[in-house]
Chains A and B, each alone.
Chain A
Amino acid sequence: MNPERLLSLTNRWFSTSVGLTLVIFLSSAICGFLLLPYADADSRFSGIWDAICNAAGFPVKSSATDIIQPEFKISGATLGLAELTSPSPQSIGRGATLAQQCAICHGPEGVSRADAPNLAGQYAQVIYKQLHDFRSGARTNATMGPFAAHMNDRDMIDLAAYYAYLPRIPSSRDSAEVPLIVASGAPTRGIAPCGSCHGTIERKIGSPWLNGQPAAYIEAQLRYFASGARRNDTNQQMRNIARALTDDEIKAVASYYAGTQ
């Protein structure tokens, strides 16, 4: 057996390696937790302990009172309601009755002849959210505002259920070429593909089905988002995208979805 004892301070390998490790760790810790935090010109520490805690990564609590309130209404619609995904036949029936007042613009079967959105087959969450936003003022429209003002939550859910129940208009598009902005977006400008939320590639809850919508309507909404006239996209996703779209892209998207391309 080797008589040399490893774990002993008399063993130079042991004392040197452990000693060096300690020196390196302690000196780097003193640098990282004391010297460097104080070297920061903006540091406002109440003491050494405060500096150490900060460098260790304890989050600084910010005051809950100084949240800046926006000067406009934010959408408050909740899209997770079970009644929106599996409506009762009664709900659809009530919605059909209520929908008679919508028919003059949106068509008796949810297909518009007035460049208003086609509602037939639209996702229930989408219709519910837009009605909710018209009522709260998060989305403003001279025609829709007064209609929504008199609706209660029940009416909105029923209308959403009825329109979601109607069959979509069949696609008139003959496998036309998909504009690049719809299929791939524009990564350099931070624009996600339209199809990644609005169907065909992927669908995100709350995003409308766009196929077959009137070109004039889509174009107008994109311009409202770009100018900030419409801002009920809670996370600014549509405002950010619309601002970055070129005029040609807006037209291409609108005519592609309208099926007129």
Chain B
Amino acid sequence: MLNSRRLVLAHFWMAFGGFGLALLLGAWQMFIRSPLAGWIGNPEWYYRSVTAHGTIMGYVFPTLIAMGFGYAITETSLKAPIAGVRWAWAGIALILIGSIMAMIPVSAGLASVLYTFYPPMIGNPFYYIGVVLVVVGSWIWVALMSINLIRWKRANSGKPVPLAMYANVAGSYLWGWTAVGAALELILQIIPVAVGLRSTIDAGLARIFFSWTLHAIVYFWLIPTYIAYYTIVPRAIGGKLYSDSMARISFVLFLVVAMPIGIHHTFADPMVGAGFKFVHSVFTAIVALPTLLTVFTICASVEIASRLRGGRGPFGWLVALPWNNPTMLAVTFSFIMLGFGGAGGLINMSYQLDASIHNTQWITGHFHLIFGGAIVIMYFVIAYDLWPHLTGRNLANLSLMRLQLWLWFIGMIVTTFPWHYVGILGMPRRMAYYDYTHPAIADQALPVILSATGGLILVVSAALFFVILIRGHLSEKADPGEYRFSVAVHPPQRVPVALNSHGLWVGLMIALTATNYGFPILQLAVRSDTSVPAVYVGVK
């Protein structure tokens, strides 16, 4: 059992608790906007709910998963107690305080600005201060990951850093840097207006700062999933990792190219020059590379597992895979969703194609498929895999786990595929009310009903997930043994210093941020005629 099990469990339960609440809000939003429900009468209720849903799902839930998983990785891969446990508790405490501080004004309807803030809308300052506290709490984790790695390296000079820890620290650095964009937006722009020091705001500049965070944050959400692909999946299905180096290269590529691409979110905005949009588009295309490397490596690892079990032939090995194993099932579902989501992403990042789906439900479908689907289903696997080591009890009911994963997969497909479709038909997103009786959108009614049904399936799946975890706390005590990560076919004896440290890649990440964001930010920051009056939300 892990020494830090209370710390890790605290992170996981807080994360999943928030996830459960936010999921209910999401399902309600889908229902009341569908033709199944009458118009709620007041759009403010809808935006209030979306703000809470997005803030929890975007900032609180994945951050806590990455942190909790990061602490577990630190202890189990470095085989040493975590240095700075008190700081770790301070970090999660800040996140708890920040989340509550943010959710009070949101619940009261004083900050229905959505989690992407959307200046010039300005809500209650406590909402923004709460979000800042969440980020500061997570930065403590970033520092702790770095400190623990440095300590281990001092004691184990020249040895390869375990892959899980190498990837985990890469993810923490990515978050540390990408969160700076939103932090600058909040501290320099939004909070001064929210507390009344200024009454105008440069909304264009704010959107650029936010895009700095908003795209790379997705890769921060993705990193725990990728760590699970590389370090949990091959072991859990009885195989070996095809290549340790390929894994490291994938993670450092994310570090370098996840950052300088966010302006593809502002293709339709006038305040960024077309040249920069093109450069960001090119780098967004390159970010597919680490994902393709990962898909190749994991498929190869899975094939190894099958061949070890007697699988034969060019395709026959697929049959011999341990399909009863929930991890096998989950990684398959995750790859399918990643494939469709990634293909959709190629359309979003193309300057011209984006114009046809920009700000439509296609986008909502896209990020739910990638994040809610491909990423979150692996969060479930991480929880299932770690739970016996956190509770010292068995997690025995595999059929319930399989049912839960199937329902999540089906629910997510049923939710997001119709969303993509109505997006192509032109259905705008972020709207509280659609008049389906109007002939122009009447044919969107059926796919929207389907989509809302998918939301209900997801709620059922999440309920099962909680049943499984809670039963895990109540089942018989059992010694889970030592927690192990996947072993590579050729375990690394000596790793090039570039793939055993992060300096070069962090340097490239910062350099590309400067080249790709420096001018668009400076241009707006030095101009005096780009601010607009703030629109205060929730003020009567």
Contacts and interface: CB of A to CB of B under 8 A. Distances in A.
Contact of B279 (A18, A28, A184): A28
B157 interface: yes
Interface size range on A against B = 35 or more
Contacts of A176: none
B279 A32 contact: yes
Nearest to A5: B497
B275 A32 contact: yes
Q: Is the interface of A mostly helix, strand, loop or mixed?
A: helix
A169 interface: no
B518 to A, nearest CB: 11
Size category of the B interface is 35 or more
Contacts of A201: 42
B275 A52 contact: yes
A29 interface: yes
A55 interface: yes
B433 A187 contact: yes
A98 to B, nearest CB: 33
A186 B435 contact: yes
A67 B503 CA distance: 55
Interface in B467-508: 496-501, 503-505, 508
Interface string A52-67: 1011111000000000
Interface string A183-223: 11011110000000000010000000000000000000000
Interface stretch (A7-15, A108-116, A228-236): A7-15
Contact of B275 (A17, A18, A37, A186): A37
A57 B275 contact: yes
Contact of A28 (B157, B283, B496, B505): B283
B438 interface: yes
A149 interface: no
Interface string B497-527: 1111101110010011001100110010000
Given A2-B157, A21-B508, A184-B39, A56 B496 contact: no
A144 interface: no
A188 B440 CA distance: 8
Contacts of B520: 57
A164 to B, nearest CB: 19
A204 to B, nearest CB: 12
A184 B40 CA distance: 10
Interface string A160-179: 00000000000000000000
Interface stretch (B170-178, B188-196, B266-274): B266-274
A31 B278 contact: yes
A28 B515 CA distance: 12
Interface in A29-71: 29, 31-33, 36-37, 52, 54-58
Interface in B115-129: none
A147 interface: no
B275 A187 contact: no
A1 interface: yes
Interface of B: 39, 41-42, 157-158, 256, 271-279, 282-283, 286, 431, 433-435, 438, 440-441, 496-501, 503-505, 508, 511-512, 515-516, 519-520, 523
Interface of A: 1-2, 4-7, 11, 13-14, 17-18, 21, 24-25, 28-29, 31-33, 36-37, 52, 54-58, 180, 183-184, 186-189, 201
- Report, nearest first, the 8 A-B pairs whose CB atoms are least far apart: A57-B273, A55-B275, A32-B278, A13-B498, A28-B282, A33-B275, A32-B275, A188-B438
Given A13-B498, A36-B278, 11 more contacts: A1-B158, A11-B498, A24-B282, A28-B278, A31-B278, A56-B273, A56-B276, A57-B272, A57-B274, A58-B273, A183-B39
8 contacts: A24-B286, A25-B515, A32-B276, A55-B273, A57-B271, A187-B434, A188-B434, A188-B441
